[in-house]
Every structure is written in C-alpha cells, then in structure tokens.
C-alpha cells in the first residue's frame, strides 16, 4: 500500500494556491491513477514548489506543474467491480494541501478509457463538460466557488444519472421519486434554519457499491447503494440529511482548523435530528437524542471523552473520531433547551449567515449564540467546549 501524499506545514506556500487544475487518467488494468496537475499560485514570486516523500512525481516539466502516479491506499479505494472511491484526503490522489485553513477552486478532468465503457466520473462542483474522443469519455468537473481541499472527493462508477430540478442522483438502479422528494424536503428545511440559501443550489448524491460510506464534498455526497434502498423503503432519512446539511455546515461555513471539527459534525448531527423531528415527529427526535446520550455515555466509560474544541491532534484522522459528532449534537440540544426555541434558531441562522463563505472557530459560534441569547453562555461553553 502506498499513499500519494504531500503535506507541507500550514501557512507555507500552499496557502498561496488559488486554483488546482487536475487531469486524471485511471488505468483500470494496473489500478493506478495518472495525474497531470497545474497549480496557480496567488504570489508566484514567493513560491518554490517541492514534492512530499510519498508522492511519486514522475515528471515536473515546469514550475507549478506535476505529473504523478497514485495507487490505492488510505483515502482512495479501487473496488473489484472497477469502482473508484476517494475519501476525505485529497493528498491520496493529487498534490494538495489537505489542511482546512484555506480554500481554492478546482478543475478536475477525469478521462474514463473506452475499455471501461459504462463507467461515469462523479466529481465535486458541477459537470461543465462531457465529451468522447479516441481516448475515452472526458468528464470535467469544476468547483468555481473556492472550497477546502478535503471537499474535492470524486468517484468513478457504473451508475445511471437521474435529474429532478436542482437534485441529481447517480445510482446503480434508478431512484424512485421518494429519494428526490425527501432530499428536496430536507433542503427546504435546512435552508430555512440556516437563514440563507446555498450559492449554488445544485446537489448531487452518488450511491455506490461500497458499503458503509457517507461523505460530503462540494455540491455532492458519496453514499452506499444499500442506503438508497433504506432511504426509499424504510424512510431512513438520517444519512441523506446529514450529508446534505454539510452543504451549509462544512462547505458554506468552513472550519479554520481540525480543532473545531465539531462545528462541522456536531452541528450536522444535530441538524439531522432536527430534520428527523420535522419529518417524523418529536418522538423520533427524542429517540435520536437518547441514542446519542447512550453512545456518549459509552465513550465516557471508555475514557474517550474530550473537549469539543480540541487541539491535541497530530493529523486530521486523529482530530476526527465519534466525540465531535455525539457530544457536539448533544451540546446543541442542550443550548436549544437553555435558550428556548426562538432565540436558539435565530442564533443558528445568525451564525450561518454571518460566516457564509468564511472560516470559523468555536468563538465565532459562541458570539453568535450569545448575541441572540442576550446573555453570556460562558459557563456552558467552558464546561462542554473548552474543558
């Protein structure tokens, strides 16, 4: 297993990257991605590009251009049925800075060879061009609104494309109207609670042959095919709602550092519970809160509790884990109780609108909530967020 990874210190010249342009050619026989990447820098005079020790750069003909090969490993899977799935770590398949501290635009062109006919590329942002030539089928995706690089994931899979208004579903079998209708309902709910619409309301959901996945990207989410059936036939809306909520709380409002990962996952988990309440009633919300409480009690018993704002991680994987999700969601549930319905939801909307397109930390959230609470929430934040 080899991971193509380039990590340079935060605040280095990579903070100068304004735009990535990547052309990927998957070789389905050798299971390797061949990439050509151009990097546009904000201040080229200050830049001196270098490769990381695990990235196989095969050619570097000009400053800011890389040719490289990436093999499957952490952050990048190649399944037996040919499906390619990337997860969370852009460094697995492109030369990038994986830290969340800045945003860049992306042009991602994936060339699916003619021999792999029937496979489609699914990328972040919007599909802006698709054409066939002697090489195969070219899919060009563009993230035009700058995004953090962990939101650049893509997949290649044998899926059909279904479109309904702003929603797109890519799945092995065509979806029933149920999945589209529930997605649209969740979208309306989050838009109302956020107090702001997404800059680009287009949203794609890809349901893939790999089990147990759920991952947000810019304007897109990757989930499992088995989940689509649960969404349609068992009204299991949680994963759909969770990934969709991330378009506001992760993509639109981003975290400055992994130390505040709970602002992505805790808010999103809570918003999922709130949508469950809206969709299925208060008893379903209460049941979800009870589940979160018992999961959190187990984590405490295992000695895994930690403050929500947590700086003791060494890499992104260490910053994740279940605590930001469970404890974060329960903290919002508690704030909801302490502040009361009206002030609480006004605070959520204020926080989201004020920081749309910006990067945040725990203090930004606290300031917005205190503003609508009309009082200090310092004791509560000290207890749960910082200690």
Q: Which two tokens stand for residue 69?
A: 């090969």
- Minimum CB separation from Zn ion for residue 193, in Å? 17
- Of 108 and 255, CB closest to Zn ion: 255
With the CA atoms of 113, 118, 124 and 126 taken in that order, what torsion angle do they form, in degrees rounded to the nearest 10? Answer: 100
Please give the residues from 148 up to 167 whose contact with Zn ion meets the rule CB under 5 A. none
- Minimum CB separation from Zn ion for residue 365, in Å? 17
- Of 162 and 183, CB closest to Zn ion: 183
Task: Specify which residues 67 forms β-bridges with.
Answer: 36, 59
- Minimum CB separation from Zn ion for residue 307, in Å? 19
- Of 121 and 245, CB closest to Zn ion: 245
Strand pairing category for 76-78 and 120-122: unpaired
- Minimum CB separation from Zn ion for residue 276, in Å? 15
- Of 16 and 153, CB closest to Zn ion: 153
- Minimum CB separation from Zn ion for residue 385, in Å? 19
What is the per-residue binding string for Zn ion in 217-256, x denoting contact by CB under 5 A?
----------------------------------------
- Minimum CB separation from Zn ion for residue 242, in Å? 6
CB crowding 79-100: b at 16 or more within 10 Å, else e:
eeebbbbbbbbbbbbbbbbbbb
- Of 83 and 247, CB closest to Zn ion: 247
- Of 102 and 262, CB closest to Zn ion: 262
Of 79-87, 218-226, 258-266, 372-380, the window that binds Zn ion (rule: CB under 5 A) is: 258-266
- The CA distance from 289 to 254, in Å, is 25
Please give the residues from 259 up to 278 whose contact with Zn ion meets the rule CB under 5 A. 265
- Minimum CB separation from Zn ion for residue 214, in Å? 7
Please give the residues from 278 up to 317 whose contact with Zn ion meets the rule CB under 5 A. none
- Of 111 and 330, CB closest to Zn ion: 330
Of 48-56, 112-120, 161-169, 257-265, the window that binds Zn ion (rule: CB under 5 A) is: 257-265
- Minimum CB separation from Zn ion for residue 243, in Å? 7
- Minimum CB separation from Zn ion for residue 330, in Å? 16
- Minimum CB separation from Zn ion for residue 44, in Å? 36
- Of 37 and 265, CB closest to Zn ion: 265
Please give the residues from 188 up to 207 whose contact with Zn ion meets the rule CB under 5 A. none
Please give the residues from 12 up to 51 whose contact with Zn ion meets the rule CB under 5 A. none
Could you tell me the sign of the dihedral formed by the alpha carbons of 366, 367, 369, 373, in that order?
A: positive
# residues contacting Zn ion (CB under 5 A): 1
- Of 137 and 265, CB closest to Zn ion: 265
- Of 99 and 268, CB closest to Zn ion: 268
Q: Which residues of this protein are in contact with Zn ion, per CB under 5 A?
A: 265
């Amino acid at each position: 297993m080899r991971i193509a990874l380039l990590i340079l210190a935060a605040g280095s010249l990579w903070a100068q990257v304004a735009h990535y342009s990547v052309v990927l050619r998957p070789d389905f026989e050798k299971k390797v991605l061949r990439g050509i990447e151009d990097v546009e820098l904000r201040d080229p005079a200050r830049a001196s590009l270098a490769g990381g020790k695990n990235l196989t750069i095969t050619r570097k003909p000009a400053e800011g251009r890389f040719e490289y090969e990436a093999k499957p490993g952490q952050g990048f899977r190649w399944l037996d049925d040919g499906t390619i799935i990337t997860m969370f770590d852009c460094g697995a398949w492109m030369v990038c800075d994986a830290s969340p501290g800045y945003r860049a635009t992306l042009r991602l062109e994936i060339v699916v060879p003619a021999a792999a006919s029937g496979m489609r590329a699914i990328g972040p942002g919007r599909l802006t061009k698709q054409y066939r030539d002697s090489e195969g089928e070219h899919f060009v995706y563009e993230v035009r609104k700058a995004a953090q690089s962990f939101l650049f994931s893509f997949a290649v899979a044998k899926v059909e494309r279904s479109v309904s208004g702003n929603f797109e579903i890519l799945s092995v079998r065509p979806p029933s109207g149920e999945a589209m209708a529930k997605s649209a309902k969740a979208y309306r709910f989050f838009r109302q609670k956020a107090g702001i619409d997404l800059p680009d309301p287009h949203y794609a959901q890809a349901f893939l042959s790999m089990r147990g996945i759920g991952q947000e990207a810019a304007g897109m989410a990757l989930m499992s095919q088995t989940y689509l059936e649960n969404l349609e036939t068992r009204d299991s809306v949680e994963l759909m709602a969770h990934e969709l909520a991330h378009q506001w709380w992760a993509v639109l409002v981003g975290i400055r550092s992994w130390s505040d990962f709970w602002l992505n996952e805790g808010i999103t988990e809570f918003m999922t519970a709130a949508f469950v309440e809206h969709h299925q009633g208060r008893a379903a919300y209460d049941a979800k809160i009870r589940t979160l409480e018992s999961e959190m009690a187990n984590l405490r018993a295992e000695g895994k509790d930690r403050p929500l704002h947590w700086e003791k991680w060494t890499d992104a994987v260490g910053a994740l884990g279940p605590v930001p999700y469970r404890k974060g969601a329960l903290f919002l549930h508690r704030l909801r109780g302490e502040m009361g319905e009206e002030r609480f939801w006004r605070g959520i909307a204020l926080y989201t609108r004020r920081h749309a397109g910006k990067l945040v930390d725990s203090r930004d959230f606290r300031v917005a909530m205190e503003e609508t609470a009309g009082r200090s929430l310092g004791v509560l934040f000290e207890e749960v967020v910082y200690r």
